[in-house]
Structures are given as C-alpha cells and as structure tokens.
Amino acid sequence: LGLPAVVVDPTLDCDIKVYISDIEMYSYKNTEPGVVIEILNDELLMSSHDVVSNINHIISYFVHNRFVEKYNLQYSSNIVTGLEQQSEIMKSEIDSAVGLNRVHDVLKQMIRSPEFYLDRVSFFEALIYWS
C-alpha cells in the first residue's frame, strides 16, 4: 500500500527477506527439499524443489497472518487520505457515498483476496461491488 510488498534483489544472500516497519522479521533460503521449515514459530512449511511455491507459501503467510489480521482503521484512514489528495472526485465520493467505516470494510475484503492490487480503478470497482 504505497511500498512494494516484495522486492526482488539478486544481491540478497537468501531467496526472500520479510521486513515489517523496516525490521527484518524473517529470511528464507531454499536449501534442500523435504525439510520442515518453521515460520516465526507459527506455521510449518514442507519445502519442495519448487522455490516459487515455497516463497508463495511464505508470502501468503505474512499477508494473511501478519498483515490482514493486524489491519486496522488507521491504515484505511491513511489510504483514504492519500487517495483524496490524488483526486477531488475520489474525495467527494468517499465523503458522500460511503464513509470511512465502509471503505475500511471494502479494503479488508480486497486485501483478503489472492489477486489483491490497489489502484484507483480496482478500489472504486470494489467499493461499488461491496456497497
């Protein structure tokens, strides 16, 4: 939401690093298949030959368990403020049509979907659909 969710950097010493508020929370390097990997003492992953599948599982874990579950009204307020600064039409639509609480509900539904991507079009489509 304003910053890339995943950064691909060939200079990393591992396959993926997860940062939350600029603090490294987790790193993963695909070594050998069939090894059970523990993610933050909360989730188990049986590694496979398919590195992409392993990384997808880790990203899914962080998006659903660490981002969606911790997502609150302040995050929605920050997003709405950013969107309102980009467009006067968006500001009036949000203010008059639905209000912040409904926008918050829509955003929570959007980030739960596996194809989540927030831009102006998808935001308004979701707002219309969920309202």
Question: What is the tens place of the pLDDT at every residue in 78-122?
Answer: 777 777 787 787 777 777 766 777 777 777 777 666 666 556 666
Residues 96 and 126 in one domain: yes
Residues 80 and 44 in one domain: no
Alpha-carbon distance 55 to 32, whole Å?
14
Examine residue 124 and state whether it is found in any structural domain, yes or no: yes
Residues 77 and 62 in one domain: no
Examine residue 11 and state whether it is found in any structural domain, yes or no: no
Predicted confidence at residue 71, as pLDDT, reads 67
More confident call, 68 vs 80: 80
Residues 88 and 124 in one domain: yes
Please state whether the predicted TM-score (pTM) of the whole model is above 0.85: no
Q: Is the pLDDT of residue 1 over 50?
A: no
Q: Per the structure, how many domains does the chain have?
A: 2
pLDDT, tens digit, 9 for 90 and up, residues 3-24: 555 666 778 888 888 776 667 7
What interhelical angle do 100-112 and 120-130 show, nearest 10? 110
Domain enclosing residue 122, as ranges? 73-130
Alpha-carbon distance 43 to 37, whole Å?
8
Examine residue 93 and state whether it is found in any structural domain, yes or no: yes
